[in-house]
């Protein structure tokens, strides 16, 4: 088990959105949303979803005009072009994430294997250092839900991470 989480308050959820593993809308297999070199400042990149199993591919034709940080259970109308960050769907096409697992009635999800590794290192760390960044509430380390970071759920979360890795 890891003993320290030092970069958790310098890492943001948006760091993981350039490659998101999703459920293919055509065959329910594993597909990938590619948003290579995406940044909030430069949104003029090609964003596409591809499935190597069935060949499904689609390019995002209209770029989202707004960003929503976690839509929760709210329904978003199809005519609203919203980029959603912080929900178990990909930010662009709103497809369900491939990497998700139920943990005691909560959903553990990750955009990709790097995001999953980040969560694992944070959850298993016994010491979570803020590195003098007390006011950095936007960072992923301060945004992970309490159920996930609770010592009492540590083993259940780590087992769920292992199940996700085997998918």
Q: Which of 18-27, 88-97, 107-116, 134-143 has the lowest mean pLDDT?
A: 134-143
Q: Supply the pLDDT for residue 84.
A: 84
CA distances from 163 to 98, 103, 108, 158 (A): 12, 11, 11, 9
Q: Are 5 and 30 in contact (CB under 8 A)?
A: no
Q: Pick from 64, 26, 25, 31: which is nearest to 45 by CA?
A: 64
**Taking a C-beta distance cutoff of 8 angstroms, is the pair 4, 129 a contact?**
yes
Q: How confident is the model at residue 5 (pLDDT cuts 50, 70, 90)?
A: very low
Q: Span 48-66, mean pLDDT? A: 88
Bridge pairing between strands 82-85 and 66-69: parallel
Q: Which of 52, 33, 50, 42 is nearest to 115 (CA)?
A: 33
Higher pLDDT, 33 or 135: 33
Radius of gyration of the chain (CA): 16
* pTM of the predicted structure, to 2 decimals: 0.82
Q: Count the Cβ atoms, other than its own, within 10 Å of residue 155.
A: 11
The lowest-confidence range among 46-50, 54-58, 81-85, 90-94 is 81-85
Q: Is the pLDDT of residue 127 over 70?
A: no
| Residue bearing the bigger pLDDT, 160 or 121 | 160
CA distance 148 to 25: 29
Token pair of 131, please? 């590195």
**Confidence tier at 164 by pLDDT (50, 70, 90):** very high
């Amino acid at each position: 088990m890891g003993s320290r989480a030092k970069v958790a308050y310098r890492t943001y959820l948006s760091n993981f959105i350039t490659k998101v593993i999703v459920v293919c809308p055509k065959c329910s297999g594993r597909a990938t949303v590619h948003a290579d070199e995406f940044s909030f400042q430069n949104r003029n990149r090609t964003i596409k979803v591809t499935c190597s199993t069935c060949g499904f591919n689609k390019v995002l034709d209209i770029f989202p005009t707004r960003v929503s940080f976690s839509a929760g259970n709210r329904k978003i109308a199809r005519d609203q072009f919203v980029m959603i960050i912080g929900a178990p769907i990909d930010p662009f096409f709103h497809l369900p994430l491939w990497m998700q697992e139920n943990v005691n009635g909560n959903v553990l999800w990750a955009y990709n294997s790097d995001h999953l590794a980040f969560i694992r290192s944070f959850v298993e760390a016994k010491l979570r250092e803020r590195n003098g960044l007390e006011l950095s509430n936007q960072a992923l380390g301060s945004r992970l839900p309490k159920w996930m970071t609770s010592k009492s759920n540590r083993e259940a979360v780590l087992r769920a991470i292992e199940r996700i890795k085997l998918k």
